[in-house]
Amino acid sequence: MEDQLETDGAETRAVPRKRQARGERRISDILAAAARVLAVQGYEKTTTNAIAAEAGISPGSLYQYFRNKDEIAAELAATYAEGLRAAHEAAFDLTDVALLTPGETIDRVVDPILAFNLANPGFKALHARPDMPPGLVAAARPIHEALLGRVTGLLEARFPGRSSVELHLAARLMIQVFQAAMPSITAAEPEDRPAIITEVKRMLSAYVRELADR
Amino acid sequence: MEDQLETDGAETRAVPRKRQARGERRISDILAAAARVLAVQGYEKTTTNAIAAEAGISPGSLYQYFRNKDEIAAELAATYAEGLRAAHEAAFDLTDVALLTPGETIDRVVDPILAFNLANPGFKALHARPDMPPGLVAAARPIHEALLGRVTGLLEARFPGRSSVELHLAARLMIQVFQAAMPSITAAEPEDRPAIITEVKRMLSAYVRELADR
DNA sequence: AAAGAATGCGAGCGATCACTCGTGTTTGTC
DNA sequence: GACAAACACGAGTGATCGCTCGCATTCTTT
């Protein structure tokens, strides 16, 4: 009935032929509003009306730019994926990883994600929460995969002889540890955060040492 | 109108004056059904009608025994708390903890919780999920507190000189590590689980060693 | 066996929420 | 300035869900 299904039968957007500048701004507003609401409410409890209200628009206008609630989250996840990728790239491109100590390497990986999480409170709502429809989990997966690949690569560089399966498992565990600690960090008062962060890094460092001595 | 509010104004149950044996059985059935549904659906997505259907009763009968959905979850959490406490007690009462090696101690703490999680799939839905109303989080807290206290106590026994705050933080992190890995373990094929479990224990052991060398 | 209590039922109520629709307003284009 | 497209609105729709209510059945007690 509308302009949803276009010539190709695949998942096409309700995109007008020519988006106005006002529309582009609205999209940014909506995504920012969604991030704010998601950060405190979680996905399921976030209502589309609440996002619209937070963005200062009507519920109907929301659907001028997004086909449904999932699409908002997916778009936000894509934005986050790009931001995190850029942050990581910036932390790595200047240095040869082989020259770093294990502790420095951990800092290089952890600090950007940490900063990103603290700067983007909506991020963890989209990744550390299990209350999302399967389609959304799939949308968030590329971020996880990229991170897992990056960490596995670092381990492979440091432990060339080890089996890929072993290092993959180790990398996954290390990421899970970080994710598990993240809520504690964001929930803590800012002055208490460094202690927790130090402790997490100690855990990861100790594990990497154990991996080396194995 | 009914028998809900009794003499005291506090939160009283809709308890009949004399529960029949049939009623006691129903309660067990309902809790078991709720655990099954919760395990696969999570709290929010679990509907009371689904619990009733799983238990083979009508929606109305559900509310013969529980005042609302939250109370079902709270009762289940209480059951789990007792089961876990018993499992831990059984693993500890025969031995003096001071005689165990760190690795053995970790086994003593981890193995019962691990077994309990695998035997009770609904358990983690009630504890590892953030999609619960505040009242329910409060109901699940005693389990966490007990575990945290137990682990902190073990660390204090092993590191008498350390500050309580430091060990508390360490204990919390260790528990988080375990919780972080738990979903992977339950999701994995049974034959893949030992490898993951070994890895988690290695990480915890390495961390305890780091704590000793600090 | 009779009465009262406990149990059982399931249609349906009220609230919530994602999403729509009819209509009005703004913007870009000629 | 005229026309169309994009944007905006917000009451309303249909679906879902927690929970209730009126009534039927079963159990316990006497």
B4 touches strand D (CB under 7 A): no
Residue range B164-173: mean pLDDT, rounded: 97
Helix (H) or strand (E) run with residue B32 in it = helix B21-41
Tens digit of each residue's pLDDT (9 = 90 or more) over B105-127: 999 999 999 999 999 999 988 88
List the CATH number of the domain containing B175: 1.10.357
Residue range B19-39: mean pLDDT, rounded: 97
- Does residue B5 surpass a pLDDT of 60? no
B214 touches strand C (CB under 7 A): no
- Measured in whole angstroms, the distance separating CA B56 from the mean position of its chain's CA atoms is 26
Query: Are A52 and A81 contained in the same domain?
Result: no
- Looking at residue B175, its pLDDT comes to 97
Cβ-contact B214, B159 below 8 angstroms:
no
Residue range B42-46: mean pLDDT, rounded: 93
Query: Are B168 and B84 contained in the same domain?
Result: yes
Predicted confidence band at B40 (pLDDT cuts at 50, 70, 90)?
very high
- Looking at residue B88, its pLDDT comes to 85
Last residue of a domain, one of A9, A35, A67: A67
- Looking at residue B69, its pLDDT comes to 96
The domain containing residue A128 runs over which residues?
70-213
Residue range B135-150: mean pLDDT, rounded: 88
B60 vs chain A: nearest CA distance in angstroms?
26
Which residue from A169, A203, A207 is facing B195, i.e. has the nearest CB?
A169
3-state secondary structure of A172: helix
Residue range B154-162: mean pLDDT, rounded: 93
Q: What is the mean pLDDT of chain B?
A: 89
- The structure tokens listed for A105 are 């390497």
Q: Hunting for tokens 């409060």 — which residue is that? A: B138
Tens digit of each residue's pLDDT (9 = 90 or more) over B73-93: 999 999 999 999 998 888 877
A59 touches strand C (CB under 7 A): yes
A6 vs A108, which has greater pLDDT? A108
Tens digit of each residue's pLDDT (9 = 90 or more) over A99-113: 889 999 999 999 999
Query: Are A39 and A19 contained in the same domain?
Result: yes
- Looking at residue A60, its pLDDT comes to 97
Tens digit of each residue's pLDDT (9 = 90 or more) over A16-36: 889 999 999 999 999 999 999
- Does residue B8 surpass a pLDDT of 90? no
Q: What is the mean pLDDT of chain A?
A: 89
- Looking at residue B6, its pLDDT comes to 39
Q: Which nucleotide is nearest to A64 (CA to C1')?
A: D7
- The structure tokens listed for A35 are 């991030």
Query: Are A58 and A127 contained in the same domain?
Result: no
Radius of gyration of chain A (CA): 20
Query: Are A77 and A34 contained in the same domain?
Result: no
- Looking at residue A94, its pLDDT comes to 62
Predicted confidence band at B128 (pLDDT cuts at 50, 70, 90)?
confident
Our measurement of CA A18 to C1' D12, in angstroms, reads 30
Residue B13 forms part of a structural domain: no
Query: Are A192 and A155 contained in the same domain?
Result: yes
Query: Are A58 and A137 contained in the same domain?
Result: no
Q: Which of A179, A196, A200, A203 to mutate to test the interface with B (most CBs of B within 10 A)?
A: A203
- Does residue A140 surpass a pLDDT of 90? no
Query: Are A151 and A189 contained in the same domain?
Result: yes
- Looking at residue B132, its pLDDT comes to 83
Q: What percent of chain B has pLDDT over 70?
A: 93
End-to-end CA distance of chain A: 63
B68 vs A214, which has greater pLDDT? B68
Query: Are A75 and A147 contained in the same domain?
Result: yes
Query: Are A13 and A116 contained in the same domain?
Result: no
Candidates A102, A99, A100; CA nearest to A212 is A102
- The structure tokens listed for B89 are 């007690």
Residue B5 forms part of a structural domain: no
What's the burial of B31, exposed, middle or buried (CB within 10 Å: 0-12/13-18/19+)? buried
* Structural domain count of chain B: 2
Which residue from B45, B130, B206 is facing A206, i.e. has the nearest CB?
B206
Residue range B124-147: mean pLDDT, rounded: 85
Our measurement of CA B3 to C1' C1, in angstroms, reads 28
A190 backbone dihedrals φ, ψ, rounded to 5°: -50, -35
CB-proximal positions of chain C, under 7 Å: 5-12, 16-22, 27-28
B164 vs chain A: nearest CA distance in angstroms?
14
Window from A99-108, A146-155, A168-177, B95-104 with minimum mean pLDDT: B95-104
Query: Are A51 and A86 contained in the same domain?
Result: no
- Contacts of residue B199 in chain A, CB cutoff 8 Å? 169-170, 173
Last residue of a domain, one of B45, B67, B89: B67
Q: Hunting for tokens 């238990």 — which residue is that? A: B55
Tens digit of each residue's pLDDT (9 = 90 or more) over A170-181: 999 999 999 999
- Does residue B7 surpass a pLDDT of 80? no
Residue B29 forms part of a structural domain: yes
- Looking at residue B14, its pLDDT comes to 67
| CA gap B161, B167 in Å, rounded | 10
- Does residue A138 surpass a pLDDT of 90? no
List the CATH number of the domain containing B49: 1.10.10.60
Predicted confidence band at A14 (pLDDT cuts at 50, 70, 90)?
low
- Looking at residue B94, its pLDDT comes to 63
Q: Report which residue type is found at B90.
A: A
Query: Are B95 and B164 contained in the same domain?
Result: yes
Last residue of a domain, one of B67, B85, B102: B67
- Does residue A3 surpass a pLDDT of 70? no
Residue range B179-189: mean pLDDT, rounded: 95
